[in-house]
Chain A
Amino acid sequence: MNAAAFVLLAAMIAMYVVLDGYDLGVAAVSPLVARNGEQRAAAMASIGPFWNGNEVWLIAAGGVLFALFPRAYASAFSGFYLPFTVVLWLLMFRGIALELRNHFTSELWRSFWDTAFTGASALLAVLFGVALGNLVRGLPLDAHGYFLGRFAFLLNPYALAVGLFALLALAQHGLAFLVLRTDGELADRSKRLLARLWWGVLLLYFATTLASLALRSAAAIDAPLRLAPLAVLSLLALGGVHWFTRVGKPGPAFAASGLFLASLVLAAAATMYPYLLPAFPAGSGGITIANAGPGPGGLGLTVALTLPGLAAVVIYSIFVIRRMRGAPRPTGD
């Protein structure tokens, strides 16, 4: 049951990265591909109806982590106090920016909030990557499982490389979304940038994967069965992004980009398993799924109460996305 709870959590975070990833990506790349107010508005409108629902995956994953593994939740959030507050502020800034831009038609007003939206989103992508990098690398835990996440410790070369990788991978995802959901000059420019950016993603993919293996060599030796399929999947998916973009199939290209992100999150989770917060340096213990939770009975209840709700969410989200597809109806009202 502990393992099922871990998988549920990893799947929710992967879902968050895949879904909020495209709107973070669109925000981050929009100044590069949208050259005028009209194109910027089209880029924003493509994610407008969905970003809020996407972000709920993070909130829900936070709640489920809280219920499943309270000790890990308490330790991680208090330990990352200042970095976490920065993430919260960026999430808040981003949320209001997209809402506020629509309230005035003034070009000045809109360019301010669009820049705020882009800046906050790009920084969030980097910070999420840095956080993931540090989770894989391990944290300086004390005897009670608490730690102090000093910036000097967190901003190490490995975590920064993962942060840059996250920015590029989410930018790729956002570009694939723009190719799929917009048209004209905006879609063409997104497609060209996607083709070039892909090489950067590929390079950083190999660099960070090798660095991760060096850091967590034990995991690779213990768990080749967990990691090998995910490694193959992520390579295939990354190849798919390139191939489908070249042959002009934006739907499969976007799906491949989502699969690539999901496989990376799951690979990071598989590397960490069974640790939720591995200690630094690697191999010196940490908070695991066995010592962070309320025991099998409680975990089973949380998993049982969460899964039907998430199934319903997936169903009605698909319904809403389908209903919102296409041009507005030219009705009299």
Chain B
Amino acid sequence: METAVVADRIQFAFTVMFHYLFPIATIGLAPFIAWFAWRAARGNDEVARRASLFWTKIFAINFAVGVVTGIPMEFAFGTNWAPFSAKAGAVIGQPLAMEGVYAFFLESVFLGIMLYGRHRVSPRLYAWSATLVGAGSWLSGFFIVATDAWMQHPVGYRVASDGSIRLANIGALLLSPFAWWQYAHVVVGALVAGAFIVAGVGAYYLLAKREIEDGRYYVRLGAVVALVASVLIIFPTGDRNSADVTKYQPVKLAAMEGLFHSTNGAPLAIIGMPDTQRRELIDPVVVPNVLSFLAYGNFTANVKGLTEYADTLWPPVALTYYAYHVMVGLGTIFVAIAALAVLLLWRRKLTDFRPMLWVLMLAMPFPYIANEAGWVVSEVGRQPWVIYGIMRTADAASTNVAAGETVFTLIGFAGMYFLLGLLFMLLVLREIALGPNVEAHATREAEV
């Protein structure tokens, strides 16, 4: 593959994977903040009132970094992927335009009230604003996933005489079951992250023997939501995504599972290293027949292996395989952790049992890893296609942009994002260290 295309792909993957960290947190935390704000508006729940302000500060930092790192994504289609945009813009531009018009405005305008309006509006309007900001972030995620889902599984389009792709049916694109299951999986994945963040911060306070009342509230609420969300991530959403991949992207399925040869009653590989030279899974630990069951609901069904397809149609096998196994392995661990926590909660021991609090606190980064791994499975696994079965990634990169220019801007993004990441960590850790009982320090309101 040409250097320019490789540089474009690295730049897109790097910028979007960095960006994704922040929507994971905003989508995952938004329902918690709306819940806190409504509890605060309804009565004298002092802990919920503090929680709504504290988590809004964390949300705001995530939102700000999410916005600034999201702007380059929309424009990257035009700058780095001009032939793709010219060919398919009439289709993918539509959900992206709707994201701006219907979701991003909602988030941004009402965030103004959340950040600057606490002393200017009633608690009810504040709670409504939190709800609308949350709705905006979920809706924004939908339009982005719908765009990606169309590239994974194109529906509702026609090819015009000049070779460009036109939108024939916007309803088919927005209501595509493929998109809805993918979206459900993505938002539930973000919710797992949000729940582990809330529980993890609470666990930190309890371990540090401070903010006890707040810490208990966060740990309890976080543990319950974590259990519900991490079950939903496997069933039905994960299961339905696998079924869609089996049906529409069988090569991706084979790469995810490291299955080189078509097999009746295919085994599920738990551990193993795919070797594309020898075309086998090295040193595997497998559960017999389970892959056939997961893919087709039948223990003896035939699952197609990679060798059924020309290797020019293979995605990068190792990356897809490992990312998938990291995602699934972590997802299973999340269910176990959350189930144990809820069991302890039921026995009224959760907030005093320090080993569990340690686990919850240290678990915080792992939902991020699982979500990012999911992105890799989805987007690396559908290579070599940018639009599945229609346009190859190799033909999609701008030809009037030199590889050197892309490398230059990639280095620029890398440097900027490194500093941005440091600043983000500094600010978030500082908010957590200050805690929910510090009233608006250095506030915006004080100056308005």
Please say whether chains A and B are actual partners in one complex. yes
With known contacts A63-B93, A67-B89, A324-B116, A89–B101 Cβ distance under 8 A: no
Query: Which chain B residues (74-131) contact chain A, with CB distance < 8 Å?
Result: 74-75, 77-80, 82-90, 92-94, 96-102, 104-106, 108-113, 115-121, 125
Q: Mark B388-419, 1 if CB is under 8 A from A, else 0.
A: 00000000001111000100110010001000
Q: What bracket does the count of chain A residues touching chain B fall in?
A: 35 or more
Which of chain B's residues have a CB closer than 8 A to the CB of A99?
60-61, 64
Check A95 against B93 for contact (C-beta < 8 Å): no
- B247 close to A (CB within 8 Å): no
Which of chain A's residues have a CB closer than 8 A to the CB of B96?
63, 66-67
- B343 close to A (CB within 8 Å): no
Which of chain B's residues have a CB closer than 8 A to the CB of A55?
108
Nearest Cβ distance between residue A240 and chain B, in whole angstroms? 28
Which of chain A's residues have a CB closer than 8 A to the CB of B409?
81-82, 85
Query: Which chain A residues (290-307) contact chain B, with CB distance < 8 Å?
Result: 293-295, 297-298, 301-302, 305-306
Cross-chain contact of B98 among A62, A88, A309 (Cβ < 8 A): A309
Check B400 against A60 for contact (C-beta < 8 Å): no
Which of chain B's residues have a CB closer than 8 A to the CB of A297?
166
For chain B, the count of residues having a C-beta within 8 Å of the partner chain is 77
Nearest Cβ distance between residue A265 and chain B, in whole angstroms? 19
Cross-chain contact of B115 among A49, A81, A316, A331 (Cβ < 8 A): A49
Which of chain B's residues have a CB closer than 8 A to the CB of A36?
none
Q: How far is the CA of A139 from the CA of B71 in the complex (A)?
A: 25
Which of chain B's residues have a CB closer than 8 A to the CB of A100?
64, 423, 427
Q: How far is the CA of A316 from the CA of B102 in the complex (A)?
A: 12
- B68 close to A (CB within 8 Å): yes
Nearest Cβ distance between residue B73 and chain A, in whole angstroms? 10
Nearest Cβ distance between residue A10 and chain B, in whole angstroms? 16
Q: How many A-B residue pairs have CB under 8 A?
A: 238
CB-based nearest B residue for A66: B93
Cross-chain contact of A79 among B61, B105, B400 (Cβ < 8 A): B400
With known contacts A53-B108, A92-B71, A309-B98, A70–B398 Cβ distance under 8 A: no
Which of chain A's residues have a CB closer than 8 A to the CB of B120?
323-324, 326, 328-329
Check B98 against A305 for contact (C-beta < 8 Å): yes
Which of chain A's residues have a CB closer than 8 A to the CB of B442?
102-105
With known contacts A45-B116, A45-B444, A82–B405 Cβ distance under 8 A: yes
CB-based nearest A residue for B53: A333
- A207 close to B (CB within 8 Å): no
Check A70 against B88 for contact (C-beta < 8 Å): yes
Which of chain A's residues have a CB closer than 8 A to the CB of B64?
95-96, 99-100
Query: Which chain A residues (36-92) contact chain B, with CB distance < 8 Å?
Result: 41-42, 44-45, 48-50, 52-53, 55-56, 59-60, 62-71, 73-82, 84-85, 88-89, 91-92
Which of chain A's residues have a CB closer than 8 A to the CB of B420?
96
Check B104 against A92 for contact (C-beta < 8 Å): no
Q: How far is the CA of A6 from the CA of B68 in the complex (A)?
A: 28
Q: How far is the CA of A313 from the CA of B65 in the complex (A)?
A: 23
Q: How far is the CA of A81 from the CA of B105 in the complex (A)?
A: 27
Check A305 against B82 for contact (C-beta < 8 Å): no
Check B430 against A96 for contact (C-beta < 8 Å): no
Nearest Cβ distance between residue B278 and chain A, in whole angstroms? 42
Which of chain A's residues have a CB closer than 8 A to the CB of B170?
301, 305
Q: How far is the CA of A212 from the CA of B117 in the complex (A)?
A: 44
Cross-chain contact of B80 among A69, A78, A293, A329 (Cβ < 8 A): A78
CB-based nearest B residue for A81: B401
Q: How far is the CA of A293 from the CA of B86 in the complex (A)?
A: 9
Nearest 9 pairs of A and B residues by beta carbon:
A70-B89, A77-B78, A67-B93, A294-B90, A60-B100, A66-B93, A49-B112, A63-B97, A328-B119
Beyond A53-B112, A64-B101: 13 further Cβ-contacts under 8 Å? A45-B447, A45-B448, A56-B108, A63-B97, A70-B164, A73-B78, A77-B75, A84-B75, A84-B79, A88-B72, A92-B68, A306-B101, A328-B448
A-B contact pairs, 17 of them (CB 8 A): A60-B101, A66-B96, A70-B93, A73-B89, A77-B79, A99-B60, A100-B423, A103-B430, A105-B442, A147-B400, A297-B166, A298-B167, A305-B94, A305-B97, A306-B97, A323-B120, A329-B119
